[in-house]
Amino acid sequence: MAIQDIYPTALRLLGRPVLVVGGGPVAERRAKGLLDAGAKVTVVAPIATETLQSLDASGLLSWEAREYRTSDLDGVWFVQTATGTSAVDTQVAADAEAQRIWCVNASDHEASAAWTPAVAVVDDVKIAINAGGDPRRAMALRNAVATALETGDLPLRRHRKPGAGGSVALVGGGPGDSGLITVRGRRLLGQADVVVADRLGPRELLKELAPDVRVIEVGKTPGHHPVPQLEINRILVDEALKGNRVVRLKGGDPYVLGRGGEEAEFCRQNGVEVEVVSGVTSAISVPAAAGIPVTHRGLAKGFSVVTGHEELSEVPARPDHTVVLLMGVAQLRDSAAALAGSGLPLDTPVGIVENGYLPDQRVTIGTLGSIADQAEAVGVANPAVIVIGDVVRVSPFAPQHFKTADYSTITPNRPRVRSN
């Protein structure tokens, strides 16, 4: 049978009687698939696998422990042979052909009246692939297509909207590089009807959206909020109640100083389904882009993440406790003074990473006492993440005199001896 003879279609077998002849592993897989489709399954075989016997005992299918009879086809809509014996499978296929019943002959795909495709399900999309009668080839293609759908490389967006209301997904897009969004976030973005976008995050992905996907810009800059948070909340709910799939695309993680909790609460209060997709938070990933870990054996065992607008008096004032400042450029001088006033030494290393992971990334490294002047001199600007603590010494961008010889990932921790 040439592949041109195949007419792809999908059978709706809910409540319809089907027959599986055979009781081995192949019959078990086919029976399970037919049960998933809602069919009334009868298995005919002298011996059956433990799973088939359990399904029979639970009443999910009927197992006839005997040899096949032609009368088993009476009233059947679909047949699957899987006995492992060519003569029996051929007989079943011939009987089914005589009664004009579609039959998959597992012993001879060339002579089979129907083929079973390799199947995968992604959300509510079912993929079925035939590959010229080569099941391994079909499975490889199925896996590739399923992966492309799951990662958002192929469009999963609905064009016929379901009758039910829409939904909101709060998606953390990471620090800006489009490759750092999660697989789940990328998939939801590909399904969106409306995207409510921040100024930060993976902006390049917006260019890949279908032309009819609406992008609503609500980006904020320090001290300038053209779309107030309450209005953003209202936009999310209003668009979802129109039946749209809404993605709130944020930079970093929606639950790390991103006001995602407020948005999720507002959606739930208004009866809108909401999903939160964590992102790669800028507080950890952007320092890593400059080779700065927020913790490091022998240097720091903990860290605090705050905004530059918050009071720093409660943050441990020790070089071995890393402080990460988000949105802190404008108040860097005041923040440094506050930490110094709490007892943090002025020679504590400080690193500033602008535009992390992007082509124009820039790293500025100094000390608590010098960093404000350095930042002004080179024109440091948001988006930037500021890291304060001894971990900055690990960065390959740190000056040589910042390096210490008494920390290691191999030797046990021991008290650090500061050099003059």
CB 306 within 8 A of CB 327: no
Nearest-10 Cα torsion for 161, 164, 166, 170: -120
CB 323 within 8 A of CB 352: no
Detail the DSSP E strand segments found in 218-312: 245-250, 273-277, 302-307
Set 95, 177, 193, 198: catalytic member: 198
Can you tell me the distance from the alpha carbon of 287 to that of 303, in angstroms, rounded to the nearest whole number? 12
Distances in whole angstroms, Cα of residue 374 to Cα of each of 1, 215, 237, 330, 386: 75, 38, 44, 13, 13
Handedness of CA 180, 183, 185, 190 (dihedral sign): positive
- Which letter does DSSP use for residue 73 in this model? G
- Which letter does DSSP use for residue 390 in this model? G
Q: Cα 128–129–131 angle (5° rounding)?
A: 160
Strand partners, 249: 171, 197
Side-chain half-sphere exposure of 129, counting CA atoms within 13 A: 19
Set 32, 108, 220, 320: catalytic member: 220
Q: Cα 268–274–280 angle (5° rounding)?
A: 130
220: annotated active-site residue: yes
Look at the block and give the residue holding tokens 């001290």: 223
* Rg of the chain taking only CA atoms, in angstroms: 31
Strand partners, 126: 121
**Residues involved in catalysis:** 198, 220
